[in-house]
Amino acid sequence: MPFYMAEEAAIDRAGRRDLQDARHIPLFLANSAVLFTTVAALVVSSAAVTNPSSAVTPANALLGLVLFLLGVSLAMLVPVADQFPGAARIGVAVATALRAYLFGA
C-alpha cells in the first residue's frame, strides 16, 4: 500500500466519516456501491408496486438509473483504489456527500 494513501484517507472534509486508514477506503466504496444499487432497485420497484396501473414515472426511472450507475462505478473503483488514489478520494467524497444528502448520515 502506498504511503500517500494513508495521508489522503485521513482527509475528511464533511466530518461525518472517519477514514483513518487506507484499507477502509475500498470497504467504504464497496458498501456505498451496494447501498446505491439497492436504493436504485427500491426506487424503481416501489414506484411500480405502489401504482401498478401506471408505468414508472420518468423521474423515478432517472433517479434509479443515476443511483445504479453510481453504484456500479463505485464497485468498479474498488479493485483499483490503491492504484488510483485520486479517483478513490473523489469516489469517497461523492459517496459521502450523497449518503449525507439522501440519508442524513
* Inter-residue long-range contacts of 22-27, CB under 8 Å, 24+ positions, other chains counted: 22/82, 25/81, 25/88, 25/92, 26/78, 26/79, 26/81, 26/82, 26/88
Instruction: State pTM to two decimals.
Output: 0.73
**Per-residue pLDDT tens over the stretch 31-63:** 999 999 999 999 888 877 777 666 667 888 898
Mean per-residue pLDDT, 19-32? 81
**Per-residue pLDDT tens over the stretch 65-83:** 999 999 999 999 999 998 9
DSSP class of residue 104? -
User: Three cell numbers at 21?
Assistant: 486508514
Contact 20, 10 (CB under 8 A): yes
